Amino acid sequence: MKKVFPLVLLAALAVFPLIGMSSYVMHLVILAIMWSMAGMAWNLLGGYCGQVSFGHAAFFGVGAYSAGIMQIHFQASPWWGMLLGIPAVAIMALCMGLVVLRLRGPYFVLATLAIGEVMRITAENMVGVTQGTLGIMIQRTWVDKQEYYYIILSMAVATFLIVKLLAESRWGYYFVAIREDQDAAESLGINTTLYKTIALTVSAVITGLAGSFYMNYMGYIDPQVVFSLGEISILMIMVVMVGGVATYLGPIVGAAIMVLMAEVFRTLPYVGTAYQTLFGILLIVIIIFLPNGLVGDWPKIKRMFAKGGQS
């Protein structure tokens, strides 16, 4: 059952657009898939390698901006930006890794947070390149959602496979060893800096791709949106925390829940504008009661309900 589930899910997702859902539902599903892709990327670094990053918006934003800049400065299709974004984000991740990967625990958390914010402020101030707070608006390639749907779905499937492949390879075990005890890993001859850099770069590139897709799909970005701490970096963490840290399916479950909840909360009266309150409460509840997320703590949840049924 467990082995077949991803395939069943994939098959269901592949035929999903054919049943003719409204474009609003399609939009939500596309967002959920995009977030699960970003969540899987974060999970590689945060979940397996144990390096909690609060700055993934930096990669997301650079990916999005490389697509946008391609269009406004070179009149090339923004899809080329997706290709350009790969080396751009990779170089950035390598440079960033040089500094931040020497740091551990809380220092790492805050260094990444700082870099995310620095990128946002830089993008706001470098008006010549990024058009500042005005943002970048581009013409979307297709009016229909279906093309975008299959593009993001194939990207997400590729990400899933890459993460699975990496996590089950020798490198994956190195990552987990680093998460559990970096000094012990180092003493066993694992080049911790190298493997942390690998995890960071792969995670960054995937996040950047998700960012480029966002630009292509939404057609509009500005620094407040794509470099946002609350809407991108923290949402990415929440996707993984809610779904399950260091699980394959966790980010998918988390993304589905978060996107749905965001939509539902936004329609509530009064609370609408501040739906993040409820996100915050959700995060607190998850951390206190289900620290390993819905998928990670699934046995615990099942036991809870089984007990409830008996008494």
CB closer to other proteins out of 79 and 173: 173
Q: What is the pattern of x (binds other proteins, CB under 8 A) and - over residues 24-63?
A: ----------------------xx--x-x-x---------
Give the interface size with other proteins as a residue count (CB under 8 A). 48
Smallest separation, CB 274 to other proteins (Å): 4
Q: Contacting other proteins (CB under 8 A), which of 76, 110, 137, 157?
A: 110
User: Which C-beta is closer to other proteins: that of 219 or that of 280?
Assistant: 280
Query: CA-to-CA distance for 53 and 6, rounded, in angstroms?
Result: 27
Alpha-carbon distances, residue 109 vs 11, 103, 156 (angstroms): 38, 9, 26
Which residues in 276-305 contact other proteins (CB under 8 A)?
276-277, 279-281, 283-284, 287-288, 291-292, 296
- The piece of 20-28, 80-88, 114-122, 208-216 that touches other proteins (CB under 8 A) is 114-122
* Minimum CB distance to other proteins smaller for 25 or for 229: 229
* Residues 133-162 within binding reach of other proteins (CB under 8 A): none
Q: Rounded to an integer, what distance in angstroms lies between the CA atom of residue 226 and that of residue 233? A: 9
| Cα gap 300→294, rounded to integer Å | 9
Exactly one of 25, 109, 157, 162 binds other proteins (CB under 8 A); that residue is 109
* Binds other proteins by CB under 8 A, chosen from 2, 12, 15, 270: 270
Kindly tell me which of 44 and 67 has the beta carbon lying closer to other proteins: 44
Closer to other proteins by Cβ: residue 8 or 284 = 284
In the complex, the smallest distance separating the C-beta of residue 226 from other proteins, rounded to whole angstroms, is 17
- In the block, residue with structure tokens 């792969």: 202
- The residue within the footprint of other proteins, chosen from 37, 38, 111, 258 (CB under 8 A), is 111
Smallest distance from the beta carbon of 198 to other proteins, in angstroms? 20
Range 160-199, binding other proteins (CB under 8 A)? 179
User: Interface with other proteins includes 224 (CB under 8 A)?
Assistant: no
Determine if 267 is a binding residue for other proteins (CB under 8 A). Answer: no
Give φ, ψ of 137 to 5 degrees.
Answer: -115, 130
Which residues make up the interface to other proteins (CB under 8 A)? Answer: 46-47, 50, 52, 54, 99, 102-103, 105-107, 109-111, 113-115, 117-118, 121-122, 124-125, 179, 229-230, 234, 237, 241, 245-246, 270-271, 273-277, 279-281, 283-284, 287-288, 291-292, 296
